[in-house]
Amino acid sequence: MKRIITIGREFGAGGGELGRRLARDLGIAYYDRDIILRTAKASAHLSPEQVRRWDERVPHEFGFTQSLFNFYSRPLSEELWDAQMRAIRDIADKESCVIVGRNADYILREFDHCLRVFIHADRSWRLLRMRDLMPDTPFDQLESDMDTADRARRTYCEKMTGRTYGDSRNFDLTLCTSTLGIEKAYALLKAAAEEL
C-alpha cells in the first residue's frame, strides 16, 4: 500500500532531517528542494531559477517587479502555485514518498494514506541547533535567516492556502523537537508512518 508523509516545519526544528531519515528507513522517495525542478517542468513559463528564487515565498507583484509576470496571463505567484501543485500531486500519484515543505499537507489534503506532520520547536532551541550545525555562520546571521524563513513560509501558507501556518488542526501529528528531542520525535514519527 502506498504511503505519503508530508512534513511542514519551522526553520531549524529538524523537519528535513527527520524526513530524510524516515524516507531512508521506509525505503521510499524523499522530496524537498528537488520539487523545484519538477515545478519548473510542470510549467511551460517558469525557469528553475524563477522557481528557486520564489520557493516557499510570495513574489511581490507590484511596482518594478511586475516584469516577473505577463500582464496578459496570471501573476507569477499563481503560476508557481499551480505548477507546484501539479508536481506534488504527480509525485504522490506515482509513489510512496516523504515530501518536506511547500504546503504539501494542503495540496494533498484529499489523498488517502497520507500522514500530515508539522515539526516545531522553541526559538532558542532552534537557534542553538543551527549554531551547532553551522558553526562558521555568525549567530546574528542565523537568527536573521531563521526569522526570514519562518516569515516567508508563514506568508506563503496564508496567501496560497488561506490557512494559518503551523496550526495543529491542519495536521495529523505535530511534534515539538525541543521538548521531545530529535530521537523521540523520530520514533513517534516512524511509528505513525508505519501505521499508514
Q: What is the pTM of this model?
A: 0.83
Q: What is the pLDDT of residue 11?
A: 94
Rg of the chain on CA atoms, in Å: 17
- Strands, DSSP E only, in 32-84? none
Cell numbers found for residue 43: 510549467
| CATH of range 4-194; options 3.40.50.300, 3.40.50.620, 3.40.50.450, 3.90.1150.10 | 3.40.50.300
Name the grid cell of 192: 505513525
Q: How far apart are CA 14 and CA 18, in angstroms?
A: 6
The pLDDT of residue 84 is 84
Q: What angle do CA 46, 48, 52 make, to 5 degrees?
A: 110
For cell 494514506, name the residue: 113
For cell 514519527, the residue is 189
According to DSSP, the residues that pair with 115 across neighbouring strands are 5
Residue 176 sits at φ, ψ, to 5 deg, of -100, 105
Q: Domain-by-domain residue ranges, the chain?
A: 4-194
The pLDDT assigned to 54 comes to 52
What are the per-10-residue average pLDDT scores of the chain (196 residues)?
95 97 97 70 61 54 42 59 88 95 95 95 96 93 93 90 96 98 98 95
Please answer whether residues 116 and 105 qualify as being in contact, where contact means their C-beta atoms are separated by less than 8 angstroms. Answer: yes
pLDDT at residue 71, as a whole number: 39
Query: What per-residue string of b and e applies to 113-134 under the rule 16 or more CB within 10 Å gives b?
Result: ebbbbbbbbebebbbbbbeeee
